[in-house]
């Protein structure tokens, strides 16, 4: 593939730069919106919450499961999400001598909106999911390389980071991710309403809200709300809220060993129901999972 041949030297330079600066799967950098990932062995499936971002793999491969959709991406593809998503991810290809290497950039809705206003397409965005995989273009890779190179010149970060982030955002809008990104910031569109409802759901996890309540909040009929919500997230509103609560519970359990208190804190009325649903999602009981995450011996804890 001609593009692949053209991009190979650039991928090599970017990979080497990341390896000089990072170790670990979620390495925070001096550039606020830029994160790096380096892993030297495959990673078993792990649950995580993906905030709006784009991820480009420079070496190796990763797989993400969102709702019922399974997505794989490697050095020729990028993953982007414009909505908060509970997901499962695993690194498929990584080795000590050939580690998994990736870069991530959080998406700034203000920058995207400014760019869309400056270069409108003239048509209403078509309905698309709130996440997806796209082919990486040479232009996007070059913009990311320019952004990434700031790590070698930290004194330039305050003056240049926002401009280079803006260039990456522009290249994303011109890529296969473009329709999804334009839809996400179309203020009168259904997607924007779904985004607002999700922000509300994340803020009020312990609230007992019906489908009618959520649809009313979005200003839609119940059938329309459910249809648009599932198109954006690959989950029904009920599935999304349940998964969101269980992810938040997992974070709380790391510091709070009491599963019952955690269940109530995230909106469950029944600790036994919480325990069943937690075990179904994470494959083990809340107590055992919390102990594992804290590095505590788990013998004798409930399965």
The pLDDT tens digits along the chain (303 residues) read 445 557 889 999 999 999 999 888 778 899 999 999 999 999 888 888 888 999 999 999 999 998 888 999 999 899 999 888 888 889 999 999 999 999 999 999 899 989 988 876 645 555 567 899 999 999 999 999 999 999 999 999 999 999 999 999 999 999 999 988 988 877 556 777 888 888 888 887 777 778 888 888 888 899 999 988 888 888 899 889 998 899 889 888 887 668 888 998 888 989 999 999 999 888 888 988 888 777 654 444 333
Helices 237-255 and 190-203: angle between axes, nearest 10 degrees: 30
Parallel, antiparallel or unpaired: strands 24-28 and 53-59? unpaired
User: Hey, what CATH topology would domain 190-294 get?
Assistant: Arc Repressor Mutant, subunit A (1.10.10)
CATH of span 2-184:
2.60.120.10
Q: What is the pTM of this model?
A: 0.79
Distances in Å between the Cα of 151 and the Cα atoms of 22, 86, 158, 240 are 11, 30, 12, 37
From CA 149, how far away is CA 260, in angstroms rounded? 48
Residue boundaries of the structural domains of the chain: 2-184, 190-294
Sequence-separated contacts (24+) of 230-234 with Cβ below 8 Å? 230/67, 231/127, 231/128, 231/129, 232/83, 232/129, 232/130, 232/191, 232/194, 232/195, 233/66, 233/67, 233/83, 233/85, 233/129, 233/130, 233/194, 233/198, 234/66, 234/67, 234/68, 234/69, 234/129, 234/131
């Amino acid at each position: 593939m001609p593009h692949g041949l053209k991009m190979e030297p650039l991928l090599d330079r970017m990979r080497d730069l990341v390896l000089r600066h990072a170790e670990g799967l979620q390495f925070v950098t001096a550039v606020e919106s830029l994160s790096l990932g380096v892993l030297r062995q495959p990673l078993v499936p792990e649950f995580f919450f993906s905030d709006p971002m784009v991820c480009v793999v420079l070496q190796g491969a990763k797989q993400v499961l969102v709702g019922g959709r399974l997505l794989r991406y490697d050095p020729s593809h990028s993953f982007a999400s414009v909505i908060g998503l509970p997901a499962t991810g695993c690194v498929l290809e990584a080795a000590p001598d050939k580690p998994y290497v990736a870069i991530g950039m959080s998406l700034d809705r203000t920058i995207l909106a400014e760019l869309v206003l400056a270069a409108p397409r003239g048509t209403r965005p078509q309905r698309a999911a709130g996440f997806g995989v796209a082919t990486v273009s040479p232009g996007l890779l070059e913009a990311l390389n320019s952004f990434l190179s700031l790590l070698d010149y930290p004194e330039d970060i305050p003056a240049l980071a926002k401009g280079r982030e803006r260039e990456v955002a522009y290249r994303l809008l011109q890529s296969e991710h473009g329709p999804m990104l334009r839809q996400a910031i179309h203020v009168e569109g259904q997607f924007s309403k779904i985004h607002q409802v999700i922000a509300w759901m994340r803020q009020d996890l312990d609230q007992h809200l019906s489908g009618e309540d959520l649809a009313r909040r979005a200003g839609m009929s119940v059938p329309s709300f459910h249809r648009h919500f599932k198109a954006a997230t690959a989950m029904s509103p009920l599935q999304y809220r349940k998964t969101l609560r269980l992810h938040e519970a997992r974070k709380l359990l790391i510091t709070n060993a009491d599963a019952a208190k955690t269940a109530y804190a995230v909106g469950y009325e029944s600790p036994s129901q919480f325990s069943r649903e937690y075990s179904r999602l994470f494959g083990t009981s809340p107590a055992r999972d919390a102990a594992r995450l804290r590095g505590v011996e788990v013998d004798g804890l409930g399965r």
